[in-house]
Structure 1
Amino acid sequence: MTNEVAIIGVGMHPFGRFAGRTAMRMGTDAIRAALADAGLRWRDIQFAVGGSWEVANPDAIVGLMGLTGIPFTNVFNACATAASATEACADAIRLGKHDIGIAIGMDKHPRGAFTVDPTLVGMPTWYGENGQYLTTQFFGMKANRYLHEHNISQRTLARVAAKNYRNGALNPNAFRRKPIPEQDILDSAVLNYPLTHYMFCAPDEGAAAVIMCRADIAHRYTDRPVYVRAVAVRTRTYGAYEVNTTYAPVEEDVSPSVYASRAAFEAAGVSPADIGVVQLQDTDAGAEVIHMAEAGFCAHGDQERLIADGVTEITGALPVNTDGGLIANGEPIGASGLRQLHELVLQLRGTAGERQVAGKPTAGFALLYGAPGTAGATVVTT
């Protein structure tokens, strides 16, 4: 018999720039916030899973929190790291190995674009030198191709970014907390067409943590549990147009985001129509547009109309990135997906304050996409 899994505590260290503060210290703040949210002490935690790009051994955080001897598993899957941490934590509880655990993410990235050394993941140096790796060039090429194929305008990208800046202004944990008008976004420097400067997120600093337990004991800690219905992680297949595509495919295939989303919905027993609040990877505004269709929330090409009609606004029928997403929060890679869960839990509890979706949604969805082509999808419900 397997156990149902509930989220009983969430915590965040704000995202942004924090001189003199290490990723580990930010991680401890997120953990303590999650513990306080659940009414637990560190010694109540039976195991932990943690992920980071910059910190080689996130497990070392136990030295700051307390040496209680718990098992700690380090995970990494680029921007999809938090999906792997969430899945590992939930599965250990679901399979009866532990009753209460915590997933942690933390990072402290240097200023600048995501220009990571490609040799770190087995790619040749020339791959990064000609702009094909984790750079603005790749994101721009992908967005340009998608907009061309589906007759979507550059202004739609500006609308996405403007929405996320507005939402970030309502989020005390966000990095960028100032609304930026659509025209200013369009008029900002073009980094890689069709993406301008203000259409990109920024690598930054922060941490987040989520505490889970067996659902049948969740009432001991909270009267508002949120249930982890499914987590699915998928890698790309041959022919997918993704970061490490080094040669022309014989036949094109879809993004791993499609497969991860489908698997998560199937495992959860819900459909995109049941979802009341959505968190999508928006490394750039084009990514949010693309992921709307890849996750199954609309047909390819319908995004232009839906976004223009305000469907993805907090007040719309399908609120997307209500906390500002990556565009407003930035992306400390290891923490990014747990920030998504933090927001979904607040929304499903009805405690998101000024950015609360009306009617308190009963189901939420989060999608992460990480290079070189790994996607993680999570479904949570009340």
Structure 2
Amino acid sequence: MAPSDVAIIGTGLHPFGRYPGKSALEMGEDAVIEALADAGVEWSAIQALYAGSMEVKNPEAIVGLLGLTGVPGRAVFTGCATGATSLAMAAHSIRLGDADIAIAIGLDKHPRGAFSDHPSVSGLPGWYGEAGLFLTTHFFGMKINRYMHDFGITPITLARAAAKAFRNGAANPRAWRRTPMTAEQILESQYLNYPLTQYMYCSPDEGAAAVVLARADLASKYTDKPIYLRASTLFSRREGAFELLSPSLPLETAPSPTVFASQAAYEQAGIGPEDVDVAQLQDTDAGSEIIHLAENGFCKDGEQETLLAEGATEIGGKLPVNTDGGLLANGEPVGASGLRQIHELVTQLRGRAGDRQVAGSPRVGYAHLYGAPGTAAVTILST
């Protein structure tokens, strides 16, 4: 590692859920205070700030709560990939010499309902969601239905992915949904958009997360367990005629941008998927996790059926996925979601995850995101 590279020295998380009377900025303040304490630095030491949010148009205004130190604060938004983007921009500010210590912050406070109720995201009129025509749920249902047909995936595999998320959430004291459910219970719940049932979808909610980064050669001044940023990539789609918001259905001529982001990240980090010890994959719905296992190179299309039946993605499996419960157990405040992934990976790589700790001293963590309008991001961390 070059001495000019970047390390994570602290993380903070305001648990995701519902917090009436508490603003997104206030949740962000709590996450930052926790991250600063974890890093062992004062707010005045932060030299660059990148904050991401969907609902808050100027999230960099969090400096009004934390302290007006003159720190340059910049707002970031790339849909569900926002957390990875804010982290990458904070890291780039260090690599460019603009800062020795920087912070990435994500925060959001979404109302109840599917994201198609948000004209700022979908561009659709309000009546669309009010009539029950939820764009996001329709799209994800159609996408996994096509994938199941093409590659022999059965509904029990979707249910197993969701049941794993809720088991992991039950072991995570900061998760929103902490009630375990069996695969059978999930299968028997009502369909929202075939083949996805009620408990196969995540929900918009509220929360915040923060990550403090430093020059790698300075990291040991602040922590005895720095986590190094090995790769950070982001790609947008190259084609897409089937949908409005997310990567297109699998096409031979234009794979999902996840494929390009993943391949570039492995090249940057100098590793392959076989080297990853713990992964966080975007699981807006249970089907997305299934598809993303293949798109990120962890298996071939169709192999997920056997992998999940064998427990390969469980905490005790060969590739633990979404060890904190992922989006299904935590919900998705869009601006904060990607940094929640980083918080969990850092917790795992430091060996501090308690009942959900991956055994064997994991060394490499992998985080994947995708969101509107077909933007995919991958981050690779290591000890």
TM range (shorter): over 0.9
Kindly report which structure 2 residues correspond to 1:199-238, keeping only aligned pairs within 5 A, or say none. 199-238=200-239
Query: Which AA in structure 2 matches 1:157?
Result: L
Give the CA deviation at 1:239.
Answer: 3.9
Q: Is the 8 A contact 1:242 1:372 kept in 2?
A: no
Gaps of 5+ in 2: none
Give the CA deviation at 1:123.
Answer: 4.8
Distance 1:40 1:240, change over 3 A: farther
Query: Which AA in structure 2 matches 1:62?
Result: V
Query: Which AA in structure 2 matches 1:265?
Result: Y
Query: Which AA in structure 2 matches 1:112?
Result: G
Q: Is the 8 A contact 2:232 2:377 kept in 1?
A: yes
Whole-angstrom CA distance in 1 between matches of 2:208 and 2:249: 38
Kindly report which structure 2 residues correspond to 1:282-297, keeping only aligned pairs within 5 A, or say none. 282-297=283-298
Gaps of 5+ in 1: none
Query: Which AA in structure 2 matches 1:22?
Result: S
Whole-angstrom CA distance in 2 between matches of 1:245 and 1:356: 32
Q: Which residue number corresponds to residue 43 of structure 1?
A: 44
Distance 1:308 1:246, change over 3 A: closer
Distance 1:249 1:191, change over 3 A: closer
Q: Which residue number corresponds to residue 188 of structure 2?
A: 187
Kindly report which structure 2 residues correspond to 1:108-123, keeping only aligned pairs within 5 A, or say none. 108-118=109-119, 120=120, 123=123
What is the identity percentage for the equivalent residue pairs of Structure 1 and Structure 2?
59
After TM superposition, the score normalised by the length of structure 2 is 0.95
Residues 314-357 of structure 1 deviation map (CA, whole Å, 9 limit, x = unaligned)? 00000000000000000000000000000000111111111000
Q: Which residue number corresponds to residue 175 of structure 1?
A: 176
Q: Which residue number corresponds to residue 30 of structure 1?
A: 31
Indicate whether 1:341 and 2:316 are aligned.
Answer: no
Q: Which residue number corresponds to residue 87 of structure 2?
A: 86
Please, which moves more after superposition, 1-10 or 33-42?
A: 1-10
Aligned to 1:368, what secondary structure does the other structure show? strand
Whole-angstrom CA distance in 2 between matches of 1:131 and 1:232: 35
Kindly report which structure 2 residues correspond to 1:218-367, keeping only aligned pairs within 5 A, or say none. 218-239=219-240, 242-244=243-245, 252-367=253-368
Q: Is the 8 A contact 2:17 2:205 kept in 1?
A: yes
Give the CA deviation at 1:95.
Answer: 1.9
Whole-angstrom CA distance in 1 between matches of 2:69 and 2:201: 41
Residues 40-87 of structure 1 deviation map (CA, whole Å, 9 limit, x = unaligned)? 111111111000001000011000000000001100011110111011
Q: Which residue number corresponds to residue 157 of structure 2?
A: 156
Whole-angstrom CA distance in 2 between matches of 1:180 and 1:370: 27
Distance 1:376 1:247, change over 3 A: closer
Whole-angstrom CA distance in 2 between matches of 1:278 and 1:249: 22
Distance 1:345 1:21, change over 3 A: same
Distance 1:214 1:326, change over 3 A: same
Q: Which residue number corresponds to residue 55 of structure 1?
A: 56
Whole-angstrom CA distance in 1 between matches of 2:247 and 2:90: 34
Q: Which residue number corresponds to residue 71 of structure 1?
A: 72
Give the CA deviation at 1:24.
Answer: 0.5
Q: Is the 8 A contact 1:117 1:128 kept in 2?
A: no
Distance 1:358 1:76, change over 3 A: same
Give the CA deviation at 1:241.
Answer: 5.2
Give the CA deviation at 1:251.
Answer: 6.8
Distance 1:354 1:265, change over 3 A: same
After TM superposition, the score normalised by the length of structure 1 is 0.95
Whole-angstrom CA distance in 1 between matches of 2:108 and 2:372: 17
Give the CA deviation at 1:116.
Answer: 3.8
Q: Is the 8 A contact 1:230 1:264 kept in 2?
A: yes
Q: Is the 8 A contact 1:239 1:251 kept in 2?
A: no
Residues 11-52 of structure 1 deviation map (CA, whole Å, 9 limit, x = unaligned)? 000110111111011000000000010111111111110000
Q: Is the 8 A contact 2:83 2:339 kept in 1?
A: yes
Q: Is the 8 A contact 1:337 1:368 kept in 2?
A: yes
Whole-angstrom CA distance in 1 between matches of 2:323 and 2:249: 37
Whole-angstrom CA distance in 2 between matches of 1:248 and 1:199: 19
Aligned to 1:231, what secondary structure does the other structure show? strand
Query: Which AA in structure 2 matches 1:323?
Result: D
Distance 1:311 1:135, change over 3 A: same
Residues 221-272 of structure 1 deviation map (CA, whole Å, 9 limit, x = unaligned)? 0000000011000000114755448999997411111111111111111111
